[in-house]
Amino acid sequence: MPTIKLHVNGRTHAIQIDDPATPLLWVLRDALELTGTKYGCGIGQCGACTVHVDGVAVRSCSMPISAIGNKAVTTIEGLSRDGRHPLQLAWQTLDVPQCGYCQAGQIMHAAAFLEHNPNPSDDDITRAMSGNLCRCGTYPRIHAAIKHAIATSEPASHE
């Protein structure tokens, strides 16, 4: 069984893997027990599995583990040291989640987006977030919480 190295949330793991085509999602969930990253559709349609690979938001359900190489993976568990990323705080203040299942993906996508576009317009936010599905219908509060996070965070607090 081949062994691969994977850098996740600042740690390096050696993982034995049967099939190098295994998507990153299942390695995170089943091998590393990082279950904050969710399965939703398996075809990159819903965004529940969104993680950062070298700071870029990717759909981990559709990214084979063999394609990661030395790149650094960040999951929701590693977004901030203490759960106090401005988006995580804004999600609490504005009481965003309902069932909460899609929210890790929403937050990870929003975090990568704000890194590249710290002062987005309302339409920019809507465009950026329209790839992430929420069956409970929390879209208006997700939108508002992203604006709240921008308004309340110092630029330096983005990690």
Partner 1 sequence: MNRRDFLASSAWAAGALVVSWRASGAELSVSKHPGGETPLGDFVRIAPDGSVLYHFTKHEMGQGVATAMAQVLCEELCADWERVKIEFPLVDLARYENDRYGGYGTGGSCTLIYTYDMLREAGATVRQMLIGAAARLWNTKPEECYAENHHVLHRRSSRRLSFGELAPTAAELPIPTGVKLKEERAFETIGQPKPAKLIPQIVTGTLEYGIDIRIPGMQYALIARCPVFKGKLKRYDATEALKVNGVRKVFTTQPIAGLQFVSFLPHDIREGVVVLANSFWAALKGREALEVEWDEGENARYSSEDFERIAAEHAMQRTDPTGFIGDENAVADVARVRKTLRASYVYPHQLHSCMETLNCTAHVRANECELWLGTQSAGLVVSEVARLLDLPTENVKLHMLPSGGGFGRRAYTDMAVEAAYISREAGNVPVKMMWTREDDQQCNLVHLFQHLEYEAALDEENRVYALHEKEVRTYTWAARYADPSLPRMAYDIPNLRYDFENLGAEELLQSSAWRGVDAHGRALSECFIDEIAAELKQDPLAFRLSLLKPGREVYIGGDLTLSSDRMRALLTFVAEKAGYTTSLPKGRGMGMVLCPYATSYCCAIADVTVTDGKLRINKITAAIDCGRVINPSGAQQQVVGGIVWSLTALLYGGAPVKNGRVQHSNLHENRLLRMNECPPIEAHLMESPETRPLGLGEMAAPLAVPAVLNAIYAATGKRIRKIPLPEDLRAG
Residue ranges binding partner 1 (CB under 8 A): 18-19, 22-23, 26, 29-30, 33-43, 45-46, 48, 75-77, 79, 83, 87-88, 91-104, 107, 126-127, 129-143
Closest to partner 1 by CB, 130 or 152: 130
What's the closest the beta carbon of residue 155 comes to partner 1, in angstroms? 21
Q: How many helices (H) and strands (E) does the chain have?
A: 5, 5
Closest to partner 1 by CB, 5 or 84: 84
What's the closest the beta carbon of residue 78 comes to partner 1, in angstroms? 9
What's the closest the beta carbon of residue 97 comes to partner 1, in angstroms? 5
Which residues, 6 or more positions from 37, have their beta carbon under 8 angstroms from its beta carbon?
Answer: 25, 28, 29, 49, 50, 51, 60, 75, 76, 104, 105
Give the DSSP letter of residue 11: E
What's the closest the beta carbon of residue 94 comes to partner 1, in angstroms? 8
Contact 38, 102 (CB under 8 A): yes
